[in-house]
Structure 1
């Protein structure tokens, strides 16, 4: 196997699982922070003030990033049982509508969340007990929405190519793709 092939495979895996890798890091940090809080509570009966907001904001980042990963892998909630009885064309149209709905939802939420980030940026306040500015925590929403838009658009293109090549585009109940 050539070096360029290995490099291409590595980039492909990174693209395919980018959000998953970030989510793993975030959930690991979240778990470590909770463990630290429990140890502090048991040992000193007084957990640090930053742990509550820290875990909340880490979890928020993880959820939005993981939502984009779920869309990329089509592991999100869908009505596959009802769709198994429909024609390939009907499934194509419905899947297109699904992903356009995701794009619309994420665009609306992302647009309005930018104002929220700007307000937090204007205050300049840090997350309680840390030097980390609050706006970085709230940035999870527009970043997550941008990733959802990217992944839903990517899925629209994939479904279109499959349909045009005559492949079956009926969603399955298998969420482990």
Structure 2
């Protein structure tokens, strides 16, 4: 139970932190190697780009979880309570439909890359599909976050409590 709670609170942050630290570490070391020792690993410019996929899509799921993603709050605040709830449910449906489309097509890309043994340029055995897996995994996590928000919104709506929406993009 503790592990699940920890994952619920930290999954996206952990993915982002690990990916970003590895990405920054590779870039830092390779810049020093290039300018000081006049050499560079051939994969040093491709792996960070692939790691960026994990940073971006985990960040997307994190913003959906915290509800700090782009939304039209000024427009919605003019609706009544039921109208705001309807907009939240419409958001959820749109996020889930969009995510399912993304998962469907990117899972196909991952599978194709895996079947063709696509290797990251500059490496001998680092598979591209390991990095492409970021998109379907993180969009699956995004769906979980949307469903968690829906669960909270329905509970608030039934009890006629205000919805827990951050007032600005920097809210946590």
Question: What's the TM-score, normalizing by structure 1?
Answer: 0.88
Runs of 4+ in 1 over 3 A off after TM superposition: 10-14
| Alpha-carbon distance between aligned partners in 2 of 1:142 and 1:149, rounded to the nearest angstrom | 10
| Alpha-carbon distance between aligned partners in 2 of 1:111 and 1:11, rounded to the nearest angstrom | 26
In the TM superposition, residue 21 of structure 1 has moved relative to its aligned partner by 1.8
| Matching of residue 136 in structure 1 with residue 130 in structure 2 | yes
Picking from 84, 87, 99, the partner of 1:91 is 84
Q: Please state whether the residue corresponding to 2:70 is helix, strand or coil.
A: coil
| Alpha-carbon distance between aligned partners in 2 of 1:158 and 1:128, rounded to the nearest angstrom | 45
| Matching of residue 42 in structure 1 with residue 35 in structure 2 | yes
Picking from 74, 80, 89, the partner of 2:73 is 80
More displaced stretch, 74-83 vs 100-109 = 74-83
| Matching of residue 106 in structure 1 with residue 99 in structure 2 | yes
Q: How many positions carry a matched residue from both structures?
A: 170
1:24 aligns with: 17
| Alpha-carbon distance between aligned partners in 2 of 1:162 and 1:60, rounded to the nearest angstrom | 34
| Alpha-carbon distance between aligned partners in 1 of 2:77 and 2:164, rounded to the nearest angstrom | 6
| Alpha-carbon distance between aligned partners in 2 of 1:45 and 1:80, rounded to the nearest angstrom | 52
| Alpha-carbon distance between aligned partners in 2 of 1:74 and 1:157, rounded to the nearest angstrom | 14
| Alpha-carbon distance between aligned partners in 1 of 2:53 and 2:110, rounded to the nearest angstrom | 14
Q: Please state whether the residue corresponding to 1:50 is helix, strand or coil.
A: coil
| Alpha-carbon distance between aligned partners in 2 of 1:137 and 1:14, rounded to the nearest angstrom | 21
| Matching of residue 149 in structure 1 with residue 127 in structure 2 | no
| Alpha-carbon distance between aligned partners in 2 of 1:87 and 1:162, rounded to the nearest angstrom | 14
1:69 aligns with: 62
- Alpha-carbon RMSD: 1.8
Q: Work out whether residues 22 and 65 of structure 1, in 8 Å CA contact, stay in contact via their aligned partners in 2.
A: yes
Question: What's the TM-score, normalizing by structure 2?
Answer: 0.90
Q: Work out whether residues 23 and 66 of structure 1, in 8 Å CA contact, stay in contact via their aligned partners in 2.
A: yes
Q: Please state whether the residue corresponding to 1:125 is helix, strand or coil.
A: coil
| Alpha-carbon distance between aligned partners in 2 of 1:35 and 1:170, rounded to the nearest angstrom | 40
| Alpha-carbon distance between aligned partners in 2 of 1:91 and 1:46, rounded to the nearest angstrom | 58
Structure 2: gaps spanning 5 or more residues: none
